[in-house]
Amino acid sequence: MIRIAVVGEIGSGKTYVAKLFGFPVFNADKEVSKIYGNNLVVFKKLKKKLPKFIFSFPIKKKEIGNAVKNNLKNLKIISKIVHPIVRKNMFKFLKNNNFKKAVVLDIPLYFENNLNKKSDIVIFISAKKKQINSALRKRGKSDLKLLKKIGKSQLSLKMKKKKSDYVVINNFKSENLKNKVKILKYKILDK
């Protein structure tokens, strides 16, 4: 099974590109949302650690955002509680899809959480800042200060790009991107 990891800046189009491959996708952001919505144990742990910010179950993303905005150290607290569950779910996903030709890992903290294997094919999604900000506003993620703060806690984009096998430039034109992914998919499967 080929593991394809899609990395890049928040709002660059990683999730869209991940789906274009047509393979099973593990989306870490969706996993985190499920955890916030369904996991009472995580809620109790977060409420205990961050009582000024976490109030009710299911956990609201706004509460998480306020905790991070208030202090970047809170992101580490949240990550320590949530990421082991995401990792466990990823391994379950990989096991369930072991017979597939390939899978796509849409994990924003792929490098930061040491999920990369030497054999993984890593694709960096690059896009212009203006287009990213526009896409984030359309998705209702207009708190750019919070996103910048989160971005600073991650590996630099320059480093992520350097560690990647391929770079896909997303100009936010659907057909163009579909063609790029089609060519890339062919290259990857042809190896």
Q: In the predicted model, what is the mean pLDDT of residues 3-28?
A: 93
176 pLDDT more than 90: no
CATH of the domain at 11: 3.40.50.300
Q: What is the pLDDT of residue 149?
A: 63
Instruction: Please indicate, yes or no, whether residues 110 and 182 belong to a single structural domain of this protein.
Output: yes
pLDDT, tens digit, for every residue of 133-161? 777 777 665 565 666 666 666 677 788 88
Specify which residues 27 forms β-bridges with. Answer: 106
Query: What b/e string do you get for 13-35 counting C-beta neighbours within 10 Å, with b at 16 or more?
Result: bbbbbbebbebebbbbeebbeeb
4 pLDDT more than 60: yes
Specify which residues 123 forms β-bridges with. Answer: 6, 166
| Contact indicator for 160, 115 with CB cutoff of 8 Å | no
Task: Return the higher-pLDDT residue of 171 and 22.
Answer: 22
Instruction: Please indicate, yes or no, whether residues 89 and 144 belong to a single structural domain of this protein.
Output: no
| Average pLDDT value for the chain | 88
| Contact indicator for 114, 36 with CB cutoff of 8 Å | no
Give the pLDDT band (50/70/90) at residue 52.
very high
Amino acid in the structure at residue 96: N
Domain holding 106, by residue range, is: 1-24+99-191
Instruction: Please indicate, yes or no, whether residues 78 and 135 belong to a single structural domain of this protein.
Output: no
pLDDT, tens digit, for every residue of 97-131? 999 999 999 998 898 888 888 899 999 998 887 87
